[in-house]
Structure 1
Amino acid sequence: MNKWLKKTSITSALLLLASSFGAASTNAVAWNEPGVIAPIQVEIKNGKGEKIGDASFSQEKDGLHIKVIVSNLTPGEHGIHFHETGKCEGPDFASAGAHFNPLHKHHGLKNPKGPHAGDLPNLVVGEDGKAAMEFVTKMVTLQPNEFNSLMKKDGTSLMIHEKADDMITDPAGNSGARIACGVIH
């Protein structure tokens, strides 16, 4: 495994998911056999419209697998979230709307009143400006027509912020400006 590849399991988020959605709601989500939903690839661009990386999404039995590979970012931790609209118009990406939050929860994987369905652990960028991380989450799905589907009519987006997400503060964990975005459709 590459020294800058970090595999992240969202154990705390999954525990929060169970309490957030409740048993009846989580049973309503159809987790498919691998290969039933085609994986998707998303280009990630900075505010100037330059491609800085890719994200891939694969729906598996244990949740949505997300792999992010980016470069040309400031070293350190960066908030990364799903946003409610499938538009990535730079330079500020305001077109992507707020965090994807179909259950109207508070922000943060550590927030007792959260999390947003779009909340993810921080992306860790190495000193060389590169990051390659994998996440697994059950808070969203690629399954069409589900309340927590990223495959909405108008799409959704994957957003990278300038600073680390503190995992608790509404609305975006004090993670600063939006610096990179990819449209999911």
Structure 2
Amino acid sequence: MTNGCMSTRPYFNPSRKDHGALEDKNSHVGDLGNVIVGEDGTINFKIVDKQIPFTGSNSIVERVVVVHIDPDDLGKGKL
């Protein structure tokens, strides 16, 4: 990425929903939550989401996934 996250495109939000966590009723497709980094610097996670399509006009195929270094407040306004 030549310009950080700005190199990717805006968050994937085809339904124009609010920012939130996976379990929130009104979160958008691009909200995948936080991952926990182990003391050895590795991560192991599984994401299950009913909003992420692999076909059709809102498919996530050929899109970018960005993992930020800082935690996301998931639309709650605090960590």
How many residues are matched?
77
Alignment of 1:133-172 (within 5 A): 133-143=45-55, 145-146=56-57, 148-151=58-61, 155-169=62-76
How far apart are the structure 2 equivalents of 1:96 and 1:111? Answer: 25
SS in 1 for 2:36: strand
| Greater than 4 Å deviation, 4+ residue runs | none
Which of the pair has more CA radius of gyration? 1
Cα RMSD between the aligned structures? Answer: 2.2
Structure 1's unaligned 5+ residue stretches are: 1-88, 175-185
Bigger strand fraction = 1
Residues 105-116 of structure 1: pairs in structure 2 closer than 5 A: 105-109=17-21, 114-116=26-28
Question: TM-score when scaled to structure 1?
Answer: 0.37
- In 2, are the aligned partners of 1:111 and 1:168 still within 8 Å (CA)? no
- The 5 A counterparts of 1:71-150 are 89-109=1-21, 114-143=26-55, 145-146=56-57, 148-150=58-60
Residues 46-101 of structure 1, C-alpha deviations (whole Å, 9 max, x = no match)? xxxxxxxxxxxxxxxxxxxxxxxxxxxxxxxxxxxxxxxxxxx2351312121100
* Bigger fraction of residues in helix: 1
Q: Is the 8 A contact 1:118 1:139 kept in 2?
A: no
